[in-house]
Structure 1
Amino acid sequence: MATILHKDESYRIIGACFEVYKQKGCGFTEPVYQECLGLEFEIQHIPFLAQVELQLDYKGRLLNQYFKPDFICFDKILVEIKALANLADVHRSQALNYLNATRFDLVLLVNFGHFPKIEYERIAHSRPKTISDELNSWI
């Protein structure tokens, strides 16, 4: 049976997103939802960082380029928000790229522009284990 990654934390984050959607509905721009969600995280005591620049690397060498996820919650979950009619594969690809480029293993992709209800997806990344990692898990 598969376990849900960061179940309790992601439940709280999605709950905060639902509260923002309940208060604002759809039709605003992404920055409006981002500001509201930051406030809601504070109200609900969800630890977060907003728009943090994370440096990218290539084969172990740091690049001059950065990316900025909308939020990092609980120091382990990326939250990427959109305000579009529907999520598309390009948004899912962006989320997967965030996971591949970082130590994080879960992105919550949240779309506030969808009507009549909020749209969200959990995108998880399971890192391949080495044989020694697998053996150590049995000890």
Structure 2
Amino acid sequence: MAELIYPELSYKVVGILFKVHSKLGGEYQEKYYQRAVALALKEENLPFKKEIKVDLTFNSEKIGKYFLDFF
């Protein structure tokens, strides 16, 4: 298993994601989970940016753009 670079932060974020999913369940559109995760991150005072545009590459070649939900 790979070693986590930021284990404490990683566990905190995963905990937030599980909390959101357990409260909402699995039947809603993605945008509602994004909103709930953003609220939960704010409640935990975790800084983040939403919908960051990044280059998508394949074999070191740029093939397009992609949006990360959170960064």
Q: Normalised by the size of structure 2, how large is the TM-score?
A: 0.76
Which structure is larger by alpha-carbon Rg, 1 or 2? 1
1:16–1:59 CA distance, 2 compared to 1 (3 A): closer
Ranges in structure 2 where 5+ consecutive residues have no aligned partner: none
Q: Counterpart of 2:41 in structure 1: which amino acid?
A: F
1:56–1:21 CA distance, 2 compared to 1 (3 A): closer
Q: Normalised by the size of structure 1, how large is the TM-score?
A: 0.42
For the residues of structure 2 that align with 1:15 and 1:9, how far apart are their CA atoms? 10
Q: Counterpart of 1:8 in structure 2: which amino acid?
A: E
Ranges in structure 1 where 5+ consecutive residues have no aligned partner: 73-139
Identity over the aligned pairs, expressed in percent?
23
1:71 matched residue in structure 2: 70
Tell me the matched-pair count. 71
Calculate the aligned-residue CA RMSD, in Å.
2.6
Shift of 1:44: 0.9
1:25–1:64 CA distance, 2 compared to 1 (3 A): closer
Greater helix share, structure number: 2
